[in-house]
Chain A
Amino acid sequence: MDVFVQQLINGLTLGSIYGLIAIGYTMVFGIIGMVNFAHGDVFMVSSFIALICFLLVTTVMGITSIFLALAIVLVVAMFFTSLMNWAIERVAYRPLRGSFRLAPMISAIGMSIFLANFVQVSQGPRNKPVPPMVTDVIVIMEREGYQVTLAWKQIIIMVLTSVLLFGFWYLVQKTSLGRAQRAVEQDRKMAALLGINVDHTISLTFVIGAALAAVAGTMYLMYYGVANFADGFVPGVKAFTAAVLGGIGSLPGAVLGGLLIGLIEVFWSAYFSIEYKDVAAFSILAITLIFLPQGLLGRPEVEKV
């Protein structure tokens, strides 16, 4: 029971991070029907930007309050990651609208390889260990020497995810930007006829996705205390799995899928084998796509000629 509660907490934390990345996948897929393969690497780059910013803030500017530092890091990482994703969309995806079917996907794969290797070349291939940022824990249960703890960093991650999700849900459901986004999603040509700036809306979708990925990247850095150029690939695929599991195109689905994937991964590691945890996540992806392609909360896809 103790182990179970502890793993539940860990799983929800990890799941929140996956959920934040998954939103980027699901929104882009919803609006232009493309799997943004480079999104995992955008997440990885954001954690590097966060790392550099954190080092600047703490060592050069000498800010000692960890929460102030984290807030600055978060804003800076969100800004630069958004700028990057905006540029990526502008350079690598926009010219390919209306090109043949595989073109945007291949371009995205190229972008993903480019980003990972760009970071490898500019920052080196080694793991970058970060000094622990938030170390306080709350002991919520203790029995026979086994403590179930809830770390402050876990609380930060879960609270931040919930707040962002609410804000984001509000954005999509209640504002004119969200309405434009949903309109473009349904029918791009009609939306353009009705005076919606389609390019602008799609760009903004990428920017929002990147901002959320940057939050995930910063949280990932804070939680695991390490950044590596290869860390975009596997979390990226897992977040995509989360998006598919929740039903691609659906925002609550992405978060639900993220939480489920996080829980499955953590429980699998705890009760079965830690070596095969990635195999488990990848298998879920294949099984979901084969047997439940519309996901848990998604709409079934109608193929149009």
Chain B
Amino acid sequence: MAARATVYLDHAATTPMRADAIAAMTAALGVVGNPASIHSAGQEAKRLLEESREQVAATLGADPIEVVFTGSGTEAVNLAIKGLWWQRQATAPGGSGSRPRILVPGGEHHATLDTVEWLRAHEGAVVEELPLDELGRVRVDALAAALDRDAASVALVTMLWANNEVGTIQPVAEVARLAAAAGVPLHVDAIAAYGQLPIDLHALRAASGAGPATGLVAISVSAHKIGGPVGIGALVLDRSARLEPLLHGGGQQRRVRSGTQDVAAAVGFAVAASAVHARLGEDAARMSALRDRLIAGVRAAVPDARLSGDPDPAGRLPGNAHFSFPGCEGDSLLFLLDAAGVAVSTGSACQAGVPEPSHVLMAMGRTEEDARGALRITLGHGSTEDDVDAFLAALPAAYERASRAGLAARATSFDR
């Protein structure tokens, strides 16, 4: 029962750091010099940093100057949403308070949900939640209607590129077109999508007819989801866009993000980004095939299991499978699979590690009982058929036992 996981299928939480990224990062840790220093040591550090920025920019269809390194994906999301919010308030032609609306789909990551909630509570933002369809895709017609209702009063639109829990790929191109046409800036949280789907800022801006500082202007990504180190992310910020910084200080990175830059982490990030980008298509195809094998296997083993998200393989992240097991607690399944040596996720957990019914499934109109039985299985670049088969071998017994344990809220045989 105390066996530790040997099969890792929670790559959406974090994925193992690549060996080439570890090697490059540890070598860079030995380099002395602050990239802001003028002497030769500083210049050497700066060279490594900027080479890394160029490599990351190339994987995102952006210019190097448009890549702002942050301390995490969460920081990138906060910087985009709050920074754009304050900048849009300061420049509103109608004056303060004339541009209070933030349009955001339900089922977003907490980095977004809690940030817009903070802006609502502290800064007077009017947060309008856009509905999801039953597959977890934002209702584009609802967005169009919200923009039609007075686009001048919208501060920004923010959304996921692909949902981190159920893997549904969002209609980013359509949303970008609508935002561009309405003259509203759009931020996209691509943390779950990066390394699995092609992301190209300039191409998408051109295709959607974005004008200066409007349409798609910002994309958030994180290194540790693609085999880079934890502790570095990036906000890709179109050169035409301005935002208010969250951190004030030395004025590094376009004065958008002050703080001494982490050269070694940037090097590790860049090596991982370049390696993943070079094989993006073939790796995505390989992962999709593994995922489809996994989904078919779950359906064969547990016919009652319900796949969440898009059943069309093209509509979901190549590495994502997400099921609800009726009559089970997700945390029972997680425990039993963990004991059998397979690491998976229930999708979301709060700070204390308490499993909560998935807010994503709730936003998709599912019942709380359905949401309680959720299990997310996510593949990474190193995942193999053996990993999938080990999960499928452990699942039936775990499901049988978890069904017996049932739902925590029900009456028990010990009740009197």
Q: Are these two chains actual partners, yes or no?
A: no
Chain B positions near chain A (C-beta within 8 angstroms): none
Q: Name A's B-contacting residues (CB within 8 A).
A: none
